[in-house]
Copies of this chain bind each other. A is one copy, B any other.
């Protein structure tokens, strides 16, 4: 595949896993990468809008993510959080001082009436991120999970209750108002490769695809011959990060890459699964997906870029697959 300047890659992503693949793709295709990021995990804390998946991707692509912790910022401190605690503010969602600046800057701009997509782009540019990270929608969409304690807001389940309750069902509020932004639609129109990151299929990818207009844009791209490549976030029956494995189980699916692949039939064309799961390739192909077996665990810059090249190669679309 020859390099073509116009090649554009769209990645659908949640937090950490999606962010790592985003970093790999950015290393390969640079500013030709557009990340459409889940915002259904967003929450308000202390009157500030926190957008965890967007910020994880942004910090990772800006090279300032804290790799040791797997979340937050390098050199992060918690002076404000300690003081907020003294004031009796709920601090189960503990925000670092630098991270807080992101939420303050975002919230101030949103309050003066700026569009979420524009605000996100301003923050990214200020941090020197080459790629574009687009919130999946400008209107708020929120994930709620049904547990034995009833319906919970996503972060209440995820952070406050440490993902302990079993998830019986999921729903997304706000879809009656939300729609794909013009930028998201344009990104799909320009895309030569569409990638679904190794993110949680239920609470990271499904909310994105549920925004009115997004799955349609993806399907239109497919009719143009653009391949959609999904990457498994389940390796050897375990989620690399987060509760995807337990959600697969509690929602009645196989706890395996195959269980993930089943979520993407009719959406993806290619499914990348880890080399340790090679024996599942045939079953994946039986679903009508082309299976690609590769190392998918991203431990450093090189393995991030290597997986990006595999994905782009599998899409058959983007230039950098040859790079």
In the complex, what distance in Å separates the CA atom of A112 from the CA atom of B47? Answer: 9
In the complex, what distance in Å separates the CA atom of A80 from the CA atom of B100? Answer: 7
Binds B, one of A121-129, A142-150, A209-217, A232-240: A121-129
B79, A98: Cβ atoms closer than 8 Å: yes
In the complex, what distance in Å separates the CA atom of A277 from the CA atom of B122? Answer: 56
Q: Does A105 contact B (CB under 8 A)?
A: yes
**Closest residue of chain B to A78, judged by CB?**
B97
Neighbour of A46 across the interface among B46, B88, B97, B104, CB < 8 A = B104
In whole Å, how far is A147's beta carbon from the nearest beta carbon of chain B? Answer: 27
Neighbour of A127 across the interface among B76, B86, B98, CB < 8 A = B86
Interface residues on A, range: 20 to 34
Q: Does A102 contact B (CB under 8 A)?
A: yes
Mark contacts of A58-86 with chain B using CB atoms, 8 A cut-off: 1 yes-contact digit, 0 otherwise.
00000000000000000111011111101
A123, B87: Cβ atoms closer than 8 Å: yes
Q: Which of A13-69 contact B (CB under 8 A)?
A: 46-48
Q: Does A301 contact B (CB under 8 A)?
A: no
Chain B residues with CB below 8 A from A96, complex form: 79
In the complex, what distance in Å separates the CA atom of A122 from the CA atom of B100? Answer: 22
Mark contacts of A86-100 with chain B using CB atoms, 8 A cut-off: 1 yes-contact digit, 0 otherwise.
111100000011101
A88, B47: Cβ atoms closer than 8 Å: no
In the complex, what distance in Å separates the CA atom of A157 from the CA atom of B80? Answer: 28
Chain B residues with CB below 8 A from A79, complex form: 75-77, 79, 96-98, 101
Copies of this chain, tallied across the complex: 2
In the complex, what distance in Å separates the CA atom of A96 from the CA atom of B111? Answer: 22
A87, B126: Cβ atoms closer than 8 Å: yes
In whole Å, how far is A87's beta carbon from the nearest beta carbon of chain B? Answer: 4
B87, A105: Cβ atoms closer than 8 Å: yes
Chain B residues with CB below 8 A from A88, complex form: 122, 126
Neighbour of A105 across the interface among B46, B82, B100, CB < 8 A = B46
In whole Å, how far is A77's beta carbon from the nearest beta carbon of chain B? Answer: 5
Chain B residues with CB below 8 A from A98, complex form: 79-80, 82-83
Given A77-B97, A88-B122, A122-B88, residue A83 in contact with residue B102 (CB < 8 A): yes
Given A79-B77, A97-B97, residue A47 in contact with residue B107 (CB < 8 A): yes
Of the A-B pairs whose beta carbons lie under 8 Å apart in the complex, a sample of 21, sorted by A's number, is A46-B108, A47-B107, A76-B79, A77-B77, A79-B98, A80-B98, A80-B101, A82-B98, A82-B101, A83-B97, A83-B98, A83-B101, A83-B102, A84-B104, A86-B101, A86-B127, A87-B101, A87-B105, A87-B123, A87-B127, A100-B100
